[in-house]
Structure 1
Amino acid sequence: MTPDPRIIGAAARAAAEAPFLAMIMGREPEIAALAQNGILPALDAVSIVDPAMPIARRLRLERRRLALIVALGDLAGVLDLTAVTGALSDFADRALDTAIRTAILERTPDAEPAGFAAIALGKQGSHELNYSSDIDPILIFDPEILPRRAREEPQEAAVRIGKRVVELLQARDGDGYVLRVDLRLRPSPEATPIALPVDAAISYYESQALPWERAAFIRARAAAGDIDLGRRFLEAVRPFVWRRALDFGAIGEIRGISRRIRDHHAQGQAFGPGFDLKRGRGGIREVEFFAQIHQLIHGGRDPVLRAPATCDALARLAEAGWIPADEAMAMAAAYTLFRTVEHRVQMVDDRQTHHLPVGAALDGVAQLHGVENGDALLDLLRPHVASTARIYDSIEPEDNSSLSSDTDRLAEQLAAAGFADIEGAVQRIVQWRAGSYAALRSPAALEALEAVLPGLIEALGTSPDPHAAILRLDAMLARLPSAINFLRLIEARPALARLLGAILSHAAPLAEALGRRAELLDGLIDATALDPVGPVDVLAAEMSAGEEDADYQAQLDHVRKIVGEKRFALGAQIVAGASDPLDVAAGYARVAEAAIEALAHATVAEFALRHGRVPDSELVILALGRMGGGVMTHASDLDLIYLFTGDFSAESDGEKPLGAVLYYNRLAQRLTAALSVSTASGPLYEVDTRLRPSGTQGPLSVSLDGFARYQRESAWTWEHMALTRARPVFGSAAARAAVVAVIDDVLAGNRPRRDIIAEAATMRGEMAAHKPPQGPLDAKLLPGGLVDLEFAVHVAQLTHLDGFDPHLGRAIDRLIAAGLAPAAMKAAHDLLTRMIVTLRLVAPEAETPAPATQALIARALGMESWDAAIASFERTRQEVEDFWQAVSGRA
């Protein structure tokens, strides 16, 4: 047979410009010679029949031969694009099938290789495989028929088969490799095994799949392994891909795909040397998506349009009248040229690249293609790139009111909105749009996101700290199970976006709370949310509403819901500058007291159903510390002592009677759990019961008589200091009065005589050694902070038997009136309390915050600037330290 001059010329160009092809011709001279006499006969000679040769090596050699023959046929013009990609795809199918059969038979030699299939996606699925492409299969298996070894779970066997398949195809040696394998297109690849049970895969695509996965399945095909299993799977998920009724949400999905496909990397966008033939504006991917978007819109009703191959799809869409014929022809011509030149680029070094090279390398690719130089190749490509970009742009003209999906334009919009870290903000928005988080995976969530993004980004950009705001919003979205309601709320109430921006800029604890319960934002719709919270009885009634008809767990959840909303709103008041932090601190305490009231009533009633009640006895709850003083922060825990009145030797009257001591200890345990254990609605408070008589060594609940005896006979100085802020928060009026009488009697002097000043000074020194300040703004633990003020006040109270009041501010007023404290201590208390309440929200680590948050803190303290606030803080600390030194005898 006479050698074909076209192939001879192609071989010469390959030898000169493509090192990879030159290498193969040197190692496979017989194949090269055979190809010169005809490509089709040469293709028949690709297969190697040698039973002794290991499967992996045979496949590598066959792939090498095929690469040479196809390249020569392509360069010579003997094989058109369809023939080239078809030959490559057919080999990929055969290699993948061989690898699956081999992997199964290696493990179970006598078994029928069934129950394991590869679904080809992407270009393998449409028979359009690249010259140097990877393959993107989804591996599925049927647990009922998959061959496996004795005592081996089907999932374990399937994963091992899958790993062996990848190894056979992807392992590289001196003969090269067979195929690169990318398994990341399977459902949730970060969390799922590499091979999926068929029913689980079907369930995923029926209920959770993302819009881009619909587009991917246009080209899906059962390519290897158990073909019947693969076809059964594809038939089951067909309704997911091809929807007959195209509602607004579906159109929104498709428009979202179109927008996201334009989120390319900055490199390779401008046409010229280095242009990305695949991802570049007007390149291969835009041709593919132009066809696929129209297929998704119309293919649900017209099965004829469901052609996997791009050029076939364009032709059928034109024939059906869905796109103009001239646009279909232009797109098909561009696609053919782009893919052909892409193959030239990949032939040079067998690299999976899509970029045109630069410099002399571009000239080499041009000459491989058969044109004079790089400029001539660019001239050939330029009109097709321009026409593709123009036609693709017609799908969705740029909407200047929306947030762009083009990363360059998006960066410009973010800069204009006020963001400094443009790259980070762009990255996060791209991640949100890609459905990277569970909260944003559904079509409805992505639609809601697009609707709210312009206003939300404007609000974040004009917030005090856009960088912190978008980071915290990102963390919040990452934690939410669903973001739809949150996003719809922002869309319906744009003013909330501005307040949200401020919260996200300043208050990490509030942002974290939103990440657990986005509906907390609902409570801010009503302007009264920024008003002071009501009195305890009103709050407790709200928390107890409907409890007669609800089970105990539902009551707990209801209280948690109300408390979460109230605490969140109180924190928002500080961020918004709507309330004095002192008023907010009192509000926190009223909310906590109401929660104790509501939960104690519910818990006592629930406990009595089984154990009855102790006659002539009741539970009393004593609050100490910040809760006792009625001034709490967002992070305060509850210091509680559980007491009970009546005879400690009595017994309850229920179905399961208990002695009074055991009864109230179990009841206290139950109530502590109700106040502290997390439920579906989140946690409430940390509860600290270590201030009870004998501390952790004593019973959780003690009788009032036992409490009185302990305080009068055995309690230490630090316990009497704590008692100065004790306040009953649950119990009948008579029981509360009895407890207050005991406290007043002890504080009035009916207690052991101790050296209060020396013991308090020792305690303060030990505390300073073991619990140092967190940071330079620790208004509690720094010298001259709240702890020093509290110690000074309590020592003055206990030594002079005067100035008693659980509320520290009022106690200071009394001491000042009695001449036992400097007048400056009232202002010191207010400043330090405002600081700690504010900082627990906006700088919980007590470190110096960003300038924007510094301004918020200064405003909360009533100062004109941050410098003034710091100067006042330092001056106040010195005054408090002087007071403590004077009280402790160290002045």
Structure 2
Amino acid sequence: MTDRAEATTLDDAIRRARDHTPFLAHLLDREPELVAGLEAALLDPVTAARVDASMPTAKALRLERRRLALLVALGDLSGRYDLTRVTRLLTDFADHAVDRAIRTAILERTPDAEPRGFAAIALGKQGSRELNYSSDIDPILIFDPATLPIRPREEPGEAAVRIGRRVVELLQTRDADGYVLRVDLRLRPSPEVTPIVLPVEAAISYYESQALPWERAAFIRARAASGDLSLGHEFLRAIRPFVWRRALDFGTIREIRDISRRIRDHHAQGQQFGPGYDLKRGRGGIREVEFFAQIHQLIHGGRDPELRAPATRDALGALSAAGWIAGDEAEVLGAAYGLLRTIEHRLQMVDDRQTHSLPADPEALANVAALHGLADAGALIALLQPQVERVGRIYDGLADDGGERLSGDTDTLEAKLSAAGFHDPANALRLIEGWRGGNYPALRTTAAREALEALLPGLVAAFGEAPDPAHAVARFDAMLARLPSAINFFRLLEAQPALARLLGSILCHAPALADQLGRRAELLDGLIDATALKPVAEVPELAADMEARERGGDYQWQLDHVRRLVNEKRFALGTQIIAGTSDPLVVSAGYARVAEAAIRVLAGAAIDEFQTAHGVVPDSELVILALGRLGGEALTHASDLDLIYLFTGDYMAESDGAKPLGAVTYYNRLSQRVTAALSVPTASGPLYDVDTRLRPSGAQGPLSVSLEAFRRYQQEDAWTWEHMALTRARPVFGSAQARSAVDAVIAEVLGGHRPQRDVIADAAGMRAEMAVHKPAKGPLDAKLLDGGLVDLEFAVHALQLTHHRGLDTRLRRAIDALVGEGLLPASMGEAHDFLSRLLVTLRLVAPDSQPPAPATRPLVARAVGVTDWDAVVAELDRVRQDVGACWSAIRTHEKG
């Protein structure tokens, strides 16, 4: 019960029903037996409302509806039922009534057939199980031509329409017993030209390709409610991507806001709060609470299934829990919704009329107040007014577009740019005028330029706050030049001012990320996710997200899906460094987890696809071994993947598929398929470069070898550099048993079961050769400069092989272990951290290893943990000397 005087007895509820609602008074007179057993009936109203099952369907449903209406009203008025129970009982009856009407309509025409192939999709409040006391229902009726029972020589489409008409007739024809439900079929696609029942495939095609923006919002609350539920569920599953889009469509959000404004304008007479106020459509009313929730659901629900709650108050709670709306907003809106819906029910109880407006007549308004248990009309107005005003204020904030536009006058605009922080406003003015002139393909349409105009004020403000506005606007211009379409991108930035500011930072500092955005502007969508600027999840959770299949397991869709997610995650990880929200070392580990999850999912998908033709090799499986930075769980934005493909079992075996292959051929072809899955660009972009040259015998050897051949090669023939690479080898795909077998082989080799060579001399020779053939790119190349990460890695790996200590694939942990053994100076841990942070950061902001722009240098200093740019340069010089001295000492003093 919501904000009203307590009703402690059923007698009081019955008295108010008799005194203030002619409809309920009439029902009380017609159902004396039900009233006599009211206490028991309210405990199980569904059973109490049932009538003789042998009655004709229409009559039975009318009587059940009448009896349930009385019980629900008295349960509500007495406080026995809360709003959720009331609306659930009303909705469950509607589902039942429609279902029985469908079965009856089919069996009347085809008595011996199974009633299937015909379903009702509930929309609106029936879909969300929030049906009004006297509401109509808004279903979409669909049928399956292949399974719908039909008469001989009858077309399925004609049969479906006849069934649909009969369903409507059974439900809404009125007689002395009343009616069952009012049915409104106008929410179906193009109702002025389409039949009242749609073939399911045609309906799916419509929603995938032609549906209007408001229809997305309508389907937030869609539910397979009656008839052939499997058909209904399959239809909703097929159109789920239409409703819940990962790539956000802010045009849809704008359309919903426009609908709200048009409702306010159309129902202007009911906007002013007081007598005559429209509880549903008025400013601060029920519809605005619903739209507030739905707008946020459409924005964020494509990425977070937890937000897809159909019921309004459930949606508000989910949005609040996820942090998308403030907790106090959710509380205010939820409380207001409960009160407004309750009073709406009071209005409808009076005459069983679908009304939403407070009576303008003072006597009628006082009657509604008394029905609710209040003293007079003034008390009702006083109860509602604060709730309505709070809702109105909250929704006004959401719907406010500001309406600001940048001036078209050259002098005025140049002054605006200068005031915003642009040191060269004339150049920015030239670029903006070019955009307004439609000089790029993405800006040729009127709609695109209108979207740009709406964005420009916020964009200028955001770029003006950037450390280097000129750089930001120039890179944005370069982005626009490459984008095929930009409308949704503009609307996204307009709707998310904080994202526009972050974009300014990205464009200022990170050419690698700016280049990605220029190819795929939708990458920015991912930054709206609440977790985008936090460390990424662990590998199993990432893999589960990547494995989500919306298209029945289609292999090409899976490739695209993984590429979309991986590129979003990598972009977000890079942005964390630009935004200063994460340590580059944490980001580096995140890059590795994303890559490992992608390998897990895409290798599995490639195997499934390959097995359809070639079957499986008995007692054998593929194992993927990661080396290099992936093996060490520390990638950069630009890292490739160093992989070795192995297989367990007998290399002489043969697969059992329709096209059998010998094990060696089988796994070599499968490995090619996995490499392609990881590296070949698709419509969703590229993924990773895969390097398999570390496999036995290098580029000349087979792509995949048996585990036994790998063991034998490593223990008998491999060179020192291959054993050094093995120190960071880690299985990333395969069963636990297979991974353990590979780990055991690696442990044997690193433990000393390998050819005896002068490791130190070999390592020194390799490093010298590398310096000649792969010199440092620039003065900040933290990897290849003398005393850089490569020298530190050589020092660590040489000690690991010679002392069999510190055998951890993660370089920092290996360093700590070697320091603990007295084999490395303690300063090498800090050296590793500084060089790694610098490498990961510079891969984003200065991929050429040259000093970045002055505006970017403070970002680099912050990322590596020093005060300013001079300190970066000084620390790099100091660390390089320290690492160089360490590596030199190892070369001089260690024995192989």
Matching residue of 2:885: 882
Contact 2:799 2:823 in 1 (8 A): yes
Deviation sequence 1:45-88 (CA, Å, 0-9, x none)? xxxxxxxxxxxxxxxxxxxxxxxxxxxxxxxxxxxxxxxxxxxx
Matching residue of 1:753: 756
Code of the aligned partner of 2:472: A
- 2:680, 2:404 → 1: CA distance? 47
Deviation at 1:421, TM superposition (A): 2.8
Matching residue of 1:506: 509
Secondary structure of 2:587's aligned partner: helix
Deviation sequence 1:280-299 (CA, Å, 0-9, x none)? xxxxxxxxxxxxxxxxxxxx
Deviation at 1:424, TM superposition (A): 2.3
Code of the aligned partner of 2:614: H
Matched, 1:459 2:462: yes
Matching residue of 2:426: 423
Code of the aligned partner of 1:793: V
Code of the aligned partner of 2:545: E
Matching residue of 2:714: 711
Matching residue of 2:670: 667
1:38-57 superposed matches below 5 A: none
Matching residue of 1:734: 737
Matching residue of 1:362: none
Code of the aligned partner of 1:578: T
Contact 1:435 1:441 in 2 (8 A): yes
Match among 428, 433, 436 for residue 433 of structure 1: 436
Match among 674, 682, 685 for residue 682 of structure 1: 685
Match among 814, 819, 822 for residue 825 of structure 2: 822
Deviation at 1:425, TM superposition (A): 1.5
Matching residue of 1:848: 851
- 1:406, 1:726 → 2: CA distance? 63
- 1:401, 1:568 → 2: CA distance? 31
- Judged with a 3 Å threshold, the aligned counterparts in structure 2 of structure 1 residues 738 and 476 are, in CA distance, closer, same or farther, namely same
- 1:649, 1:578 → 2: CA distance? 53
TM-score under structure 2 length normalisation: 0.54
Matched, 1:591 2:599: no
Secondary structure of 1:889's aligned partner: helix
Matching residue of 1:773: 776
Deviation at 1:468, TM superposition (A): 1.5
Matching residue of 2:617: 614
Matched, 1:784 2:765: no
Matching residue of 2:604: 601
- 1:615, 1:577 → 2: CA distance? 51
Deviation sequence 1:621-645 (CA, Å, 0-9, x none)? 0000000000000000000000000
Deviation sequence 1:541-572 (CA, Å, 0-9, x none)? 10001177131100000000110111011011
Matching residue of 1:544: 547
- 1:636, 1:675 → 2: CA distance? 13
Matched, 1:723 2:726: yes
Deviation at 1:516, TM superposition (A): 1.6
- 1:467, 1:776 → 2: CA distance? 26
Matching residue of 1:863: 866
TM-score under structure 1 length normalisation: 0.55
- 2:756, 2:729 → 1: CA distance? 20
Matching residue of 1:493: 496
Deviation at 1:777, TM superposition (A): 0.7
Deviation at 1:868, TM superposition (A): 1.6
1:621-636 superposed matches below 5 A: 621-636=624-639
Contact 1:589 1:630 in 2 (8 A): yes
Contact 2:791 2:883 in 1 (8 A): yes
Secondary structure of 2:531's aligned partner: helix
Deviation sequence 1:510-541 (CA, Å, 0-9, x none)? 11111121111111113321111000000001
- 1:726, 1:408 → 2: CA distance? 63
Secondary structure of 2:455's aligned partner: helix
> How many residues are treated as equivalent by the alignment?
495
Contact 2:625 2:732 in 1 (8 A): yes
Matching residue of 1:177: none
Secondary structure of 1:642's aligned partner: strand
Secondary structure of 1:529's aligned partner: coil
Which protein shows a greater Rg?
1
Secondary structure of 1:640's aligned partner: strand
Deviation at 1:472, TM superposition (A): 1.2
- 2:608, 2:529 → 1: CA distance? 34
- Judged with a 3 Å threshold, the aligned counterparts in structure 2 of structure 1 residues 890 and 458 are, in CA distance, closer, same or farther, namely farther
Structure 1: gaps (5+ residues)? 1-247, 250-398
Matching residue of 2:702: 699
- 2:451, 2:732 → 1: CA distance? 45
Contact 2:551 2:557 in 1 (8 A): no
Structure 2: gaps (5+ residues)? 1-253, 256-401
Secondary structure of 2:586's aligned partner: helix
Deviation at 1:864, TM superposition (A): 1.5
Match among 569, 593, 600 for residue 566 of structure 1: 569
Deviation sequence 1:579-616 (CA, Å, 0-9, x none)? 00000000000000000000011000000000001000
- 2:658, 2:483 → 1: CA distance? 44
Secondary structure of 1:780's aligned partner: coil
Matched, 1:412 2:427: no
1:274-285 superposed matches below 5 A: none
Contact 1:547 1:555 in 2 (8 A): no
Secondary structure of 2:892's aligned partner: coil
Code of the aligned partner of 1:499: L
Match among 652, 655, 660 for residue 655 of structure 2: 652
- 2:795, 2:803 → 1: CA distance? 12
Contact 1:672 1:687 in 2 (8 A): yes
Matching residue of 1:180: none
Deviation at 1:400, TM superposition (A): 11
Contact 2:563 2:685 in 1 (8 A): yes
- 1:523, 1:669 → 2: CA distance? 31
Deviation sequence 1:809-844 (CA, Å, 0-9, x none)? 110011001111100000001111000000000111
Contact 2:483 2:521 in 1 (8 A): yes
- 1:400, 1:573 → 2: CA distance? 32
Match among 801, 804, 812 for residue 798 of structure 1: 801
Secondary structure of 1:826's aligned partner: helix
Matching residue of 2:209: none
Contact 2:795 2:890 in 1 (8 A): yes
Deviation at 1:661, TM superposition (A): 0.3
Contact 1:456 1:497 in 2 (8 A): yes
Code of the aligned partner of 1:859: R
Match among 741, 744, 747 for residue 744 of structure 1: 747
Code of the aligned partner of 1:552: Y
1:514-553 superposed matches below 5 A: 514-546=517-549, 549-553=552-556
Code of the aligned partner of 1:517: R
- 2:424, 2:629 → 1: CA distance? 40
- 2:889, 2:492 → 1: CA distance? 56
Contact 2:404 2:454 in 1 (8 A): no
Deviation at 1:741, TM superposition (A): 0.3
Secondary structure of 1:530's aligned partner: coil
Deviation at 1:480, TM superposition (A): 1.0
Deviation at 1:478, TM superposition (A): 1.0
- 1:890, 1:831 → 2: CA distance? 26
Deviation at 1:685, TM superposition (A): 0.4
- 2:884, 2:787 → 1: CA distance? 4
Runs of 4+ with >3 A deviation: none
